[in-house]
A and B are shown apart, each in its own frame.
Chain A
């Protein structure tokens, strides 16, 4: 059904096996640790309002913007105390899951 995949290797407990990979396995993304200086979008939607701006000091739990998603207006709260370095989105902008919203200094 699928194009014939190539015989690959897979290491399990220090032994390397010859085998085919699955599509899903080939598409794996390497794990990247969460960067506390970056606020990312967790649900797709549209930015309605932005309270934060560059060089503004915010505290943990403070609303930094409003995101409309699934017909709900959600306050996006700052996950950390810090100073905003840049705001990467504009009101009215459509954002996808994982999109960078705010970078902290």
Chain B
């Protein structure tokens, strides 16, 4: 049975169901319960945007508020994951990775390899990503490329509530460290979400729209912008295929290649900054694997090489718009 659920509630439901199913799942982060030690209510916040609200009432002290100490508690979650727990740690904003990145990229990512295959690090790190929230430069980045670059990490970024629930459950059950990115501007976005527990495999992109003229590749908020662009282009007689990557590491590059072999045109869209972006990564790989199929040069549409601006006037032109995506498609169609 499906019903409409927001992405925020879908994430909440995924955590709830996994905690009910597996007693080794614990959830920790700053203010994820909220009110710890305070005289007011417990579960005062349930997360800074309320994503984890209500879980404390059901699962009690398996939800743990943490002090402002990312190195310590992200590291503790990682360490605990090698010792029989299955922690879900929240790094409130992925922008905060700087204060704990060593634990993620030098420790969690490398245990399995450095220890000759003898370690398992089944930790999930949830973090908010993305711009459009007027949260300014240090709370709005799309840092997915940095984590995708690191061998040993998996990186997930859903574009909708249905995918979010399935991918989060998959992330928690996965025995490798997963960075689960939640676009803060999609928390309110609703889709049909089944009540029962389900998983979505990694490295399985979703073709959210079929079309024979051009392939648009994106993830997260961009998928919705791409849909808008495709709607506009359809009126011009251009049929776009949209590939929602869903997971960046591992990545379903085969689906992209297959699509490009059909359409011959590639437009990679990314909310991340342009240098070493996911867009650049896919463009290079697809060019190498499907060069012969390309009818036009691939196009990249990314944020500019700047920090995220504060003023709404600027932030709104920072994120790739439907118009800029449509322009890029038209470029590939030009004779």
State yes or no: do A and B come from one complex. Answer: no
A residues with CB within 8 A of B: none
B residues with CB within 8 A of A: none
